[in-house]
Structure 1
Amino acid sequence: MQSTVNYLWHTDDLLGQGATASVYKARNKKSGELVAVKVFNTASYLRPREVQVREFEVLRKLNHQNIIKLFAVEEMGGSRQKVLVMEYCSSGSLLSVLESPENAFGLPEDEFLVVLRCVVAGMNHLRENGIVHRDIKPGNIMRLVGEEGQSIYKLTDFGAARELDDDEKFVSVYGTEEYLHPDMYERAVLRKPQQKAFGVAVDLWSIGVTLYHAATGSLPFVPFGGPRRNKEIMYRITTEKPAGAIAGTQRLENGPLEWSYTLPITCQLSLGLQSQLVPILANILEVEQAKCWGFDQFFAETSDILQRVVVHVFSLPQAVMHHVYIHAHNTIAIFLEAVYKQTNVAPQHQEYLFEGHLCVLEPSLSAQHIAHTTASSPLTLFSMVSETPKGLAFRDPALDIPKFVPKVDLQADYNTAKGVLGAGYQALRLAQALLAGQELMLRGLHWFVTVAGVPEIQELKRAAELRSKLRTLAEVLSRCSHNITETKMTLSNLSSELMKNRDQVHADRSIQQIQCCLDKMYLIYKQFKKSRMRPGLGYNEEQIHKLDKVNFSHLAKRLLQVFQEERVQKYQASLVTHGKRMRVVHETRNHLRLVGCSVAACNTEAQGAQESLSKILDWLSHQLLQDRTKGAQASPPPTAPYPSPALKDLVLHMQELCKEMKVLASDLQDNNRVIEGLSRVPSAPDI
């Protein structure tokens, strides 16, 4: 066991270890709170004094939810070694998340967006405080699980951090080689002498490698045999990478370098998100500092992604789920164009269903009017142009299953088992996606067949539904009218009672009676005040004084009697009555609000029904006119699936519905006026 004044830990509880320090899980001696303590070793004290204290100073300067918190700086008793007491993250690091077999091919989209949001927010705080981290990697991004089960990622390990403005440079080398900027890699790993100075862009390169790793489960730059076995090729890949490429690999020993401009097909991120992310990766994974984005542009572009909302669209023509990322303030026209880019279905050919109902998207409206979608409840896209469904594109997981070596090699066997398990999880995800796609295909097509079928059948069905709706509205309106009548009577009775009580209050004379007693008492008081200045009173004056004393007492008694019986008791009784009346008023108002909501809902439904009726009537009239025109021109008349007499009857039926609709609308307007009048009735006054 080791300890400081306030914290205690066991050396077995090691969380991580570096060249200059070890991190342990510790507890507060008094509260038992779990913390992480960073204990510096002997090698750390060989560094210059300013380097030793730099991490303390940087952490004290920072305060952000996506940066690990520093609680205290203490010393171990005997050795006087410095100990940083920091926030403990029980869920490990982003690296430990990525090393889990289920994330062998990268994080799910939702989790990746959480990582992106947290890293961007934490880095933004660093830049606002003029700090360069110099060792960004998944192992230095800790994961905490919030109260609602959501991940919170925090930047940690500021041992290499220092203050550096955007236009400043540094020459010292820090970091982990797979995530190092190529210029730093050349000097730190290859040990080649060069006089280059480094700027804040080194953090951007590390962020790019980290985000690629999080999105795919793999490093972007991999020579044959791995980054640490073939360092020269590693350097070549990063420095010879063409503009726009985001990854490079060497698959064969001494083989050619292969470049990738997209994320691998095994990645779990949707094409919609990939189209937003890839340009960012391409522009921060640039070796030449003149071509590499600065932090301002990086923050602007990543914030643009994080501020977007996703609309799930299942394309029936392709049988593919799409994630369309748009801003809530964008118009639907922009959304339709974004769908076109992903599906190749032109906006004028796009038709949508949502939850089995036709969904008409007006291009001029805001995208906020689009229904809230999920992967299991997407917008279903139908194209008026026929095409062959291509289905979900994927890589067969069997191609990614490694084989065990014949001999017993514990490390190799572990790695193989991990790879097989990772491919197994990928197969499970693909199976789930394929099954969900099959369900969405069947469901979506069924909806379009039933909803977008023969127009006449649909209009007749709508007419029947509208008649049923009108009857329901009429019943609701009748109940509302009855409720409104009862409410009017209740409020009228209460108003009459209040007016009567107000008249009684105005007729109350208790205040005047008390004032009269006080006036008389004041006169006696003045006489007493005057008498006290005299040396003595004569007999008669003394008798009058005695009578005044008796009268004064009687007046005081009368005043208190009037106060208690006429004011206090009546007031307390009125409080009880007032409470009852207030309850009546509140109940009545609440009831009135419910009635008002019902009437408003009826009004809205009635308006919608009236508009639908008008549209149906116009459509049927147009159909009837077409039938007449065809009948006049054709001899003999062609056989129609729905002859003119049926259309005539339907038109008459719809005209009757319109008449009923007008009567209902008139009643609704009357009820609205009554409710508006009742809503202005004030609550009972305190009396």
Structure 2
Amino acid sequence: MSEMTASTPSYLWSLQDVLGQGATACVYKGRNKRSGELVAVKVFNLASYNRTHEVQMREFDMLRKLNHKNIVELFDVEELPSKQKVLVMEFCSGGSLLNLLEQPENAFGLAETEFLTVLQCVVQGMNHLRENGVVHRDIKPGNIMRQMGEDGRSIYKLTDFGAARELEDDEKFMSIYGTEEYLHPDMYERVMLRKPQQKSYGVSVDLWSVGVTFYHTATGSLPFMPFRGPRKDKQTMYKITTEKPAGAICGLQRVANGPIEWSTYLPDSCQLSQGLQMHLVPVLAGILEADQERCWGFEQFFTATTDILQRQPVHLFALQQAMAHSIYIHHYSTVSVFFEEVAMQTGIDVQHQQLLYLGHELPLEGSMKVVNLPHTTASRPLILLSHRPETNNSLPVREPETPIMPAKFDVFADYNFTKIVVGVVHQYQRIVQLLHLHRELLLEGYYSYMMILHRACGEAMDSIARISIRLKACLSLQHRIFTLRGRHASENQGAADKNDRLQQVTEHLPGYTAAIQEFQNRLDHLQIEQAKLAEILPSDKSCQKMQMLLQKIVAIHQLYHKDRLLGKLSYNDEQIHKFEKIHLSSHIKRVKSLIRENCMQKYKDLLDTTRTWSRILLEMQNHMQDFNSFSTGLLADLEMSEQHQNKALDRILVTLQPSGAGQQHGEIELRDKELMLSRMYHLKEEMEILGQELQCSNSIIESLEAVHSAVAVRPSMARPATL
């Protein structure tokens, strides 16, 4: 074995390829001597051999016992020439979850899809441990490895079973293992504060560590943070974890010796949707419970997390609120349940909800299953219209805080500052992309809203035409009845009153027509406004500008990383370092200016415009609904009136037939001809009405075809380059 390499009979590795290092062992990237396959080799140090033989062998035995896709696989146990045992394990190309969280783009936690992958893998791995009666006792992001699957998706695996032991649900243990930030408060008190105690610990201590790990993964930060940090202020750390109110999932001390700020929510900077958070937060509150008696058990934990993982997100954009939502719901739930979930998250009552998809109304029956809903994404959501006034005063995100730049030259402080800044600018970039997407969804959504009302106006005009046709028929029939009665009977006052009412409806129809035409004109004006804004959107290069600023700041961070490794700089290198600090200050100002004066201002301007659109369109929609109710009822009344008039006309004509035996043959023949002509005239009128209604129907079909053609040829608006 040389100074740079080491080997066993079947494996070799470079001592420089360190994957991880702990108190008792170091893990290297190695290779199988025969196949060249990459492996992870865990080599134990001398300190590990001071442990009892039983403890030394425990990790070997545990890994031999466990066999699961979310547990790192043990390949071999081999020996060095010095007789030291080494574990040869599955190599995970993605490093650890901790490595991933330390990347600047994840400074505020993982994206939702990746977080769900972590959740699923850890839950399944933990479930396998419990099925085998194993407690890990050192769950943390550094002990969760990331393997990249053939499809490019992450697979997370639990590793490092040096502290693990077999323990059933009702058993206890006294020994202490773990990493202090993730350690259960009872164990923390004994090992970190050196307080003697005789407490025993159960399997629930793993759940506390899992809770801290999930919070860290979701937010990029630890849930319990003293002002000076968890390792520099252990007393406050213990105080935060043990005095945490029920339901709180984090505690933060912002100033030295200051009060603790508790929260029952994840921070605004978290990338998880509110829909996922509302299911996740109760789980965190249940397992981040210091009292072992009140802490959730594994059965409750597995039930709750499995329920989350079995839900599917339906992406929704509440148009008038200008808010995006993810409705996490079971695929087998009914649409009625879905509507209730939408109401709970948006505050829009079920009876006021209307859904659109790809510009068209989405007809849904309450008994339908959620699995039959169309596929949605964040950029192609269902659009939710509300039939009542809504407010859209808030921005979808908050601007992150930027730390104060160190005033003095200090390679270490400057490096740490740029590391934080790179993470913050990544968050700025996500905000710019989100604002761009929301602007696009607002413009597309209101375009669809306007087109729906345009179609409604066209249908209303056709209804007026139908009403006009029916009115003419009724008036004609009424006139004939009145004439016949005037010739052969006393005047019927009721018929005259009905005739007057029909005349009044006829006189009011032009007013309805003018109102609908005014609506159409206003819609045309709004669509011109919408089209102008839609044309501008693709030319907005805010996303690209933010990307360029991010690249410049990352380049400075990389330079400062080199300077930190050097420690002491030459005069010229120091001058370059200081010049780059000036450039960094300028870049940060440009980042803030871009988002405040450009992106956010444009978004606020669009919100103001859509607020006006929303008020006008909702007013139109309410008037159109009233008119539809009126026109439907009026058409029904006219048809019924026409039926009654036909019956009345038949009765009159029957009474006009001769009944006396002494009447002359010529008079009988004349009456019969009059009756026949009257019925033929009535048949002719019916045929004319039918023809006119068919013509109206054709015009409706043609107008709808024209609308669909307009939608089909409408160019799609550009989306941000990176989403």
Q: Same-fold call, TM > 0.5?
A: yes
Deviation per CA, 1:128-179: give whole Å up to 9, x if none: 0000000000000001110010011000000000000000000000000000
Quote the Cα distance in structure 1 between the aligned partners of 2:465 and 2:286: 59
1:259 positional shift: 0.3
Q: Say if 2:53 is the partner of 1:49.
A: yes
Q: Which amino acid aligns with 2:55?
A: V
TM normalised by structure 1 equals 0.70
Aligned to 1:313: 316
SS at match of 1:415: helix
Q: Say if 2:420 is the partner of 1:419.
A: yes
Quote the Cα distance in structure 2 between the aligned partners of 1:429 and 1:297: 35
Aligned to 1:231: 234
1:87 positional shift: 0.3
CA contact (8 A) 2:40 2:91 kept: yes
Aligned to 2:435: 434
Q: Say if 2:507 is the partner of 1:636.
A: yes
Aligned to 1:403: 405
Aligned to 2:693: 651
Deviation per CA, 1:291-336: give whole Å up to 9, x if none: 1110001000000000001100000111011000000111111111
1:2 positional shift: 0.6
Output aligned runs, 1:268-417, within 5 Å: 268-397=271-400, 399-410=401-412, 412-417=413-418
Q: CA distance change for structure 1 residues 650 and 147 in 2, over 3 Å: closer, same or farther? A: farther
Quote the Cα distance in structure 1 between the aligned partners of 2:471 and 2:374: 37
1:52 positional shift: 0.4
Q: Which amino acid aligns with 2:47?
A: A
CA contact (8 A) 1:21 1:38 kept: yes
Q: Say if 2:244 is the partner of 1:256.
A: no
User: Which is bigger in relative contact order (C-alpha 8 A, separation at least 6)?
Assistant: 2
1:367 positional shift: 1.1
1:188 positional shift: 1.0
Unpaired runs of 5+ in structure 2? 475-497, 517-630, 636-684, 701-723
Q: Which amino acid aligns with 1:439?
A: E
Q: Which one is further off, 633-642 or 199-208?
A: 633-642
Quote the Cα distance in structure 2 between the aligned partners of 1:109 and 1:631: 63
1:634 positional shift: 3.5
Q: CA distance change for structure 1 residues 278 and 55 in 2, over 3 Å: closer, same or farther? A: same
Q: Which amino acid aligns with 2:340?
A: E
Q: CA distance change for structure 1 residues 145 and 635 in 2, over 3 Å: closer, same or farther? A: closer
Aligned to 1:38: 42
Q: Say if 2:169 is the partner of 1:158.
A: no
Aligned to 1:568: none
1:458 positional shift: 4.8
Quote the Cα distance in structure 1 between the aligned partners of 2:291 and 2:357: 48
Output aligned runs, 1:537-556, within 5 Å: none
Q: Which amino acid aligns with 1:446?
A: Y
1:623 positional shift: 8.9
CA contact (8 A) 1:402 1:420 kept: no
Output aligned runs, 1:201-212, within 5 Å: 201-212=204-215
1:392 positional shift: 3.4
Deviation per CA, 1:166-203: give whole Å up to 9, x if none: 00000000000000000000011111100000000000
Q: Which amino acid aligns with 1:320?
A: M
Output aligned runs, 1:493-572, within 5 Å: none
Quote the Cα distance in structure 2 between the aligned partners of 1:647 and 1:328: 50
Q: CA distance change for structure 1 residues 353 and 232 in 2, over 3 Å: closer, same or farther? A: same
Aligned to 2:447: 446
1:625 positional shift: 5.8
Q: Which amino acid aligns with 2:75?
A: F
Output aligned runs, 1:612-631, within 5 Å: 631=502
CA contact (8 A) 1:312 1:379 kept: yes
CA contact (8 A) 1:26 1:36 kept: yes
Q: Which amino acid aligns with 1:14?
A: V
Aligned to 2:27: 23
CA contact (8 A) 2:469 2:692 kept: no
Quote the Cα distance in structure 1 between the aligned partners of 2:471 and 2:186: 77
CA contact (8 A) 2:470 2:689 kept: no
Quote the Cα distance in structure 1 between the aligned partners of 2:461 and 2:136: 69
Q: CA RMSD in A?
A: 2.5
Q: CA distance change for structure 1 residues 60 and 233 in 2, over 3 Å: closer, same or farther? A: same
Aligned to 1:515: none
Quote the Cα distance in structure 1 between the aligned partners of 2:391 and 2:689: 38
1:405 positional shift: 4.6
Quote the Cα distance in structure 1 between the aligned partners of 2:369 and 2:309: 19
Q: CA distance change for structure 1 residues 650 and 44 in 2, over 3 Å: closer, same or farther? A: farther
Q: CA distance change for structure 1 residues 622 and 347 in 2, over 3 Å: closer, same or farther? A: farther
Quote the Cα distance in structure 1 between the aligned partners of 2:465 and 2:330: 40
Quote the Cα distance in structure 2 between the aligned partners of 1:295 and 1:36: 31
Quote the Cα distance in structure 2 between the aligned partners of 1:460 and 1:82: 87
Quote the Cα distance in structure 2 between the aligned partners of 1:70 and 1:217: 30
1:460 positional shift: 8.8
CA contact (8 A) 1:131 1:163 kept: yes
1:402 positional shift: 4.0
Q: CA distance change for structure 1 residues 260 and 656 in 2, over 3 Å: closer, same or farther? A: closer
Aligned to 1:76: 80
Q: Which amino acid aligns with 2:36?
A: G
Quote the Cα distance in structure 2 between the aligned partners of 1:350 and 1:265: 27
CA contact (8 A) 2:75 2:89 kept: yes
1:275 positional shift: 0.4
1:143 equivalent among 141, 146, 150? 146
CA contact (8 A) 1:405 1:413 kept: no
Quote the Cα distance in structure 2 between the aligned partners of 1:623 and 1:218: 70
Q: CA distance change for structure 1 residues 459 and 157 in 2, over 3 Å: closer, same or farther? A: farther
1:620 positional shift: 8.7
CA contact (8 A) 1:401 1:423 kept: no
1:400 positional shift: 3.0
Quote the Cα distance in structure 1 between the aligned partners of 2:40 and 2:255: 43
CA contact (8 A) 1:631 1:637 kept: no
Give the count of matched residue pairs.
499
Q: Which one is further off, 627-636 or 388-397?
A: 627-636
CA contact (8 A) 1:451 1:458 kept: no
Deviation per CA, 1:347-389: give whole Å up to 9, x if none: 1100111001111221121112211111111000000001221
Quote the Cα distance in structure 1 between the aligned partners of 2:366 and 2:20: 55
Aligned to 1:457: 458
CA contact (8 A) 2:313 2:329 kept: yes
CA contact (8 A) 2:471 2:506 kept: no
Percent of aligned pairs with the same amino acid:
57
Q: Say if 2:101 is the partner of 1:87.
A: no
CA contact (8 A) 1:141 1:156 kept: yes
CA contact (8 A) 1:68 1:156 kept: yes
Quote the Cα distance in structure 2 between the aligned partners of 1:444 and 1:647: 39
Deviation per CA, 1:478-537: give whole Å up to 9, x if none: xxxxxxxxxxxxxxxxxxxxxxxxxxxxxxxxxxxxxxxxxxxxxxxxxxxxxxxxxxxx
CA contact (8 A) 1:26 1:34 kept: yes
Quote the Cα distance in structure 2 between the aligned partners of 1:442 and 1:656: 32
CA contact (8 A) 2:468 2:506 kept: no
Quote the Cα distance in structure 1 between the aligned partners of 2:99 and 2:363: 46
Deviation per CA, 1:419-471: give whole Å up to 9, x if none: 1001100000000000100110010010011023352515899xxxxxxxxxx
Quote the Cα distance in structure 2 between the aligned partners of 1:38 and 1:150: 26
SS at match of 1:243: coil
CA contact (8 A) 1:145 1:151 kept: yes
CA contact (8 A) 2:77 2:85 kept: yes
Quote the Cα distance in structure 1 between the aligned partners of 2:689 and 2:438: 41
